[in-house]
Structure 1
Amino acid sequence: MGRIWEYVYWRLPLGKRQFFDKVVDIKQAIENIKRAIEISIRDNYNYKNELYGKLESLTGEVKILQEENARLEKIITHYHKQDMQMFWQEYRREGESTADAQKRFFLALPEAKGVTRNLQLLEKDLLKALITICDAHDIPCWLYSGTLLGAVRHKGFIPWDDDLDTCMAREDIDKLRDILKDNTEYKLTVKYDPWGYCKQIRFCYKDSQLPVFVDVFPCDWACTATKETWEANYKVRMDLKAEMTDESNPFIREFRTVGCVDDNSAMGKQVAKIFDRYYNSLKEQKVLCDKEEAEGFLFGYDSWNPCYDSNINAVAQVFPLKRMEFEGIECNVPNKYMEILCELYGEDIYTFPCGEPHFLHADWKKNAKLLETEVKKRIK
């Protein structure tokens, strides 16, 4: 305190001195806070740099691991191909081509047994009903993914498969749902899945608690069948995923806590508005269009797709649909089904799986008795 101010200070009334003392204390507190903030910023900056350093190091390690994984996958694939070449050489009959030997082998594989077969029989029953209804109302519905592969390679289920995949144009799904409103045997369920960032659409029994269904994946008419169209669709899906995982949003946090919700529930209707916003965005960007204008056909942005395959085809690859046998049922398949299978699974679909095992959709063993009972009741 300066000498003049000290002289004045001690001649002020007690209340004034206390006031000025308080001001000095506050100013000191402010200075202390400023110093603390400066120290904190400096420490945080140093800590941030330390974290960035660790992150950079980890990123480098991840890159090394990815490169090593890619190298090992190449080695495994190489030896797998060698083993397969030797196997087909031994398996082939005299005068038989390798391609014919492969087809003969896969057609001769024994069908599934026990729980898996009971599940497949019930799914086949549902597929037959779905095709009958769709054919009666002129709704195009076709086999896709592993079910299409099974039809081509096995004339039915892949022995280790536990689900059925079908596709429809989005507007036809709405039409089918309306048709099934008063159906006493079957229904179409629509649920929003917060963990798969998708809309689950399933054809199933109406009066049964059986966890059996046929997946129905929506497809959209695209203006063009180009990489740019797929990329625009992919970006919208990634934007949807980002919103579905944003737990700073209380509603999203609640949705992810609750899990799958019916589209006609209160929460489902709110989630539907989010999904619709992204669909409308694709329309506004002129990625999607009406059927009459379409050159391409896109696997829906709101469909479950863990691999994010390109999943875009020229309309002529899908339509006109062809008929093919699946477990004794005449089913629709895409016009150029081999091209689509090669896009999904690679050039050689007549080979043993190499890599990840088949994705199991549920613990069906828990329902073994129920499945067995329902097969006896429903399958003639």
Structure 2
Amino acid sequence: MGRIWDYVYWRLPVGKRQFFDKANNLLEKADSLKQILESGVKNSYNHRNELYNQMSGKIDGLANEVRRLHEENARLERIITHYHKQDMQMFWQEYRKDGESTVDAQKRFFLALPKTQGVNRNLQLLEKDLLKAFVRICDEHQLFYWLYAGTLLGAVRHKGFIPWDDDIDTCMAREDIDKLREILKDNQEYRLTVRYDAWGFCKQIRFTYKDSTVPVFIDVFPFDWISEATYEKWEGNQRVKRELKSELTDESNPLIREFRKAGCVDADSTIGVQVSKIFDKYFNKLREKNVVCDKKDAKGCLYSFDSWSYCDDRNIIAKDNFYPLKKIEFEGDKYYVPNNYIYILEELYGYDFYTFPCGEPHFVHADWKKNEKILEEEVKKRIK
């Protein structure tokens, strides 16, 4: 166990750090050269062409070097992944009991992993408390949700949180999110926050406590309905996403300059209200182009264009892989998951999701340690 984790988490991150350090240095050099070029243009028009030719050649050389580093990084990742798989095969052979299949050994291993402790566990307990409230409200108003991404993986593999996870991922159809937001307008305990992210080109939708001093939330990712679960629908969604990104990076527009300066804005803020109109415009375009449709006409679901996601074509899901929803255990209670949840996990994580990840450790969403006291106090107050 120690040898495998030492191999994966010692070698791979170091290689990535070396790669990114070198790439950043090259980009800094390119920025420096660009500044020299701009200065030359301002000071001497006659000298501009000469400087431009000199600097362009150097910048092209740096760009080629960055490209070469990307290729080398990809090659090293393939090598590390290859040896990681070999190590894992050996590990599972040694871990298996007599007569036990590899899959059963893997299931036994992950179910036996201890839960996290301290600040991370307090965070998870509060997120579980939020999830219960979220589900209760959805059930009362006949809104459909399902566990997704790392939370779905945790439910299947651990019957609860992945020990090193620090968030909860849920999904809802876009129209149900709109209804939920309206329902929670006057709620005294909970709220649904909607923020626009200028750098992620997306909406952040989160269910959280009304008390904004408690830094805990669960993500609610929107799904859209599509008339056919095809690559053409996904590509139509991608085209609109690219158009949205193009407009959100056009700093000739004063609104966009302000938006990007702010980084993230509430949907109800002055900037947020204007930005929401841009997002609505592109969603309407999806409807006009018949990329998305109403639920009654749908044969598939698609991770929405305004979600924080690379939105690759693995997110084209036939409707009957989602519906009817079913319930499985998560942290001692049962919650809705997609009908064919194993297929969903294989699409998201590959066929070997019952094994150790090969790559960098889990992404940490915030510095939870600085909120350790708040989380501890809230657990005492809220968790019975």
Contact kept in structure 1, 2:305 and 2:311, CA below 8 Å: no
Contact kept in structure 2, 1:230 and 1:310, CA below 8 Å: no
Q: Show the 5 A alignment for 1:281-360.
A: 281-306=285-310, 308=312, 310-360=314-364
> Which residue, out of 143, 147, 154, partners 2:147?
143
> Which residue, out of 238, 249, 266, partners 1:245?
249
1:263 to partner: Cα distance = 1.1
> Which residue, out of 357, 372, 377, partners 2:376?
372
- Tell me the SS of whatever aligns to 1:182: coil
Q: Aligned letter for 2:133?
A: A
**C-alpha distance in 2, partners of 1:288/1:270?**
23
**1:173 partnered with 2:153:** no
**C-alpha distance in 1, partners of 2:307/2:296?**
23
- Tell me the SS of whatever aligns to 1:330: strand
What are the Cα deviations for residues 39-83 of structure 1, in whole angstroms up to 9, with x where unaligned? Answer: 957x54554444443344334323322221121111101111111
1:223 to partner: Cα distance = 2.2
Unaligned runs of 5+ in 2: 1-43
- Tell me the SS of whatever aligns to 1:240: helix
What are the Cα deviations for residues 68-112 of structure 1, in whole angstroms up to 9, with x where unaligned? Answer: 112111110111111111111111111101100000000000101
**1:362 partnered with 2:366:** yes
Q: Please say which of residues 266-275 and 45-54 is displaced more in the overlay.
A: 45-54
The TM-score, its normalising length taken from structure 2, stands at: 0.85
What are the Cα deviations for residues 14-34 of structure 1, in whole angstroms up to 9, with x where unaligned? Answer: xxxxxxxxxxxxxxxxxxxxx
Contact kept in structure 1, 2:199 and 2:260, CA below 8 Å: yes
Q: Aligned letter for 2:375?
A: L
Q: Please say which of residues 258-267 and 187-196 is displaced more in the overlay.
A: 258-267
Q: Aligned letter for 2:376?
A: E
Q: Show the 5 A alignment for 1:150-229.
A: 150-229=154-233
- Tell me the SS of whatever aligns to 1:241: helix
Check 1:63–1:267 CA distance in 2 against 1; reply closer, same or farther (3 A cut): closer
**C-alpha distance in 1, partners of 2:378/2:201?**
32
Q: Aligned letter for 2:233?
A: T
**1:233 partnered with 2:237:** yes
Q: Please say which of residues 175-184 and 75-84 is displaced more in the overlay.
A: 175-184
1:185 to partner: Cα distance = 1.3
What are the Cα deviations for residues 272-318 of structure 1, in whole angstroms up to 9, with x where unaligned? Answer: 01111111111111111111111221111111115746422111111
Q: Please say which of residues 89-98 and 247-256 is displaced more in the overlay.
A: 247-256
**C-alpha distance in 2, partners of 1:227/1:48?**
43
Q: Show the 5 A alignment for 1:76-91.
A: 76-91=80-95
For these two proteins, the number of residue pairs brought into alignment is 343
Q: Where has structure 1 moved over 3 Å in runs of 4 or more? A: 43-56, 306-310
**C-alpha distance in 2, partners of 1:284/1:190?**
25
Find the counterpart in structure 1 of residue 281 from structure 2.
277
Q: Aligned letter for 1:279?
A: F
Contact kept in structure 2, 1:120 and 1:157, CA below 8 Å: yes
**C-alpha distance in 2, partners of 1:346/1:116?**
27
Q: Please say which of residues 145-154 and 230-239 is displaced more in the overlay.
A: 230-239
Find the counterpart in structure 2 of residue 113 from structure 1.
117
Q: Percent of counterpart pairs with the same letter?
A: 67
Find the counterpart in structure 1 of residue 105 from structure 2.
101
Q: Please say which of residues 233-242 and 332-341 is displaced more in the overlay.
A: 233-242
What are the Cα deviations for residues 317-342 of structure 1, in whole angstroms up to 9, with x where unaligned? Answer: 11111101110121000111111111
The TM-score, its normalising length taken from structure 1, stands at: 0.86
Check 1:170–1:326 CA distance in 2 against 1; reply closer, same or farther (3 A cut): same
What are the Cα deviations for residues 151-190 of structure 1, in whole angstroms up to 9, with x where unaligned? Answer: 1100010000000000000000111112222222111111
Q: Aligned letter for 1:122?
A: L
Q: CA RMSD in A?
A: 2.0
**C-alpha distance in 2, partners of 1:321/1:58?**
52
Check 1:345–1:160 CA distance in 2 against 1; reply closer, same or farther (3 A cut): same
Find the counterpart in structure 2 of residue 61 from structure 1.
65
Contact kept in structure 1, 2:224 and 2:304, CA below 8 Å: yes
Unaligned runs of 5+ in 1: 1-38
**C-alpha distance in 1, partners of 2:209/2:333?**
19
- Tell me the SS of whatever aligns to 1:181: coil
Q: Please say which of residues 254-263 and 88-97 is displaced more in the overlay.
A: 254-263
